A and B are shown apart, each in its own frame.
Chain A
Amino acid sequence: DGGITQSPKYLFRKEGQNVTLSCEQNLNHDAMYWYRQDPGQGLRLIYYSQIVNDFQKGDIAEGYSVSREKKESFPLTVTSAQKNPTAFYLCASSTTGISGANVLTFGAGSRLTVL
């Protein structure tokens, strides 16, 4: 089945540590996205990539980094510079770029908790 796989589903981190969240898609989608979701709030865009080896900052990129070395993969690193990293992280992909009429397909999410 085609889809987006995020791992791990749950992750605990000590303050000061970097962690990397994995996102893999086999939908042959060009564009991939990372969103952050906090309780009672909508999804906020962290980073997006419309093509391999290229990515742009979203609305809340500070404290995060990404890479897009392969079309299928878009890992997100939550660095120690992110002051409030505890959240639910969602990866998504779409056939067209960010400015096209596109339906995002989402992964199941990764819940990060900082201890």
Chain B
Amino acid sequence: GESVGLHLPTLSVQEGDNSIINCAYSNSASDYFIWYKQESGKGPQFIIDIRSNMDKRQGQRVTVLLNKTVKHLSLQIAATQPGDSAVYFCAERAYNQGGKLIFGQGTELSVKP
């Protein structure tokens, strides 16, 4: 999950297993959330987004869950593949902060063959 500090949280999974990456957000005014994937030396790529009026949204092999009660967001990746190895960022948009996207620290996912 997300945390403050210089060392990225890491998650190591076996190829073929499901991965769950967590993100805690602090602003109850956040109404829109995005997950990005960043491979080493590259820019972040959009994975999936969700608005605060939804609890769940599914994409291809990915699902985002939103729990507004505890301000928690998760990204589930089904049948994790070596190509999924990357740093995953969540971002939140809060109207009381000018509507800017605020990015979390990131979680590094490592897939073992």
Contact = CB atoms under 8 A, between A and B. Distances in A.
Contact of B103 (A40, A42, A107, A109): A42
B5 A90 contact: no
Interface stretch (B12-20, B59-67, B71-79, B91-99): B91-99
Contacts of A108: 41-43
Nearest to B108: A40
A40 B105 contact: yes
B45 A40 contact: no
Contacts of B41: 108-109, 111
A26 to B, nearest CB: 16
Contacts of B93: 101
Chain A CB within 10 A, most for which of B42, B43, B51, B98: B43
Shortest 5 CB-CB distances between A and B: which pairs?
Answer: A99-B99, A106-B43, A42-B103, A40-B6, A43-B103
Interface of A: 4, 6, 35, 39-45, 58, 90, 92, 98-109, 111
15 contacts: A35-B103, A40-B7, A40-B106, A41-B105, A42-B103, A42-B106, A44-B103, A98-B100, A99-B95, A101-B93, A103-B49, A106-B44, A107-B43, A108-B43, A111-B41
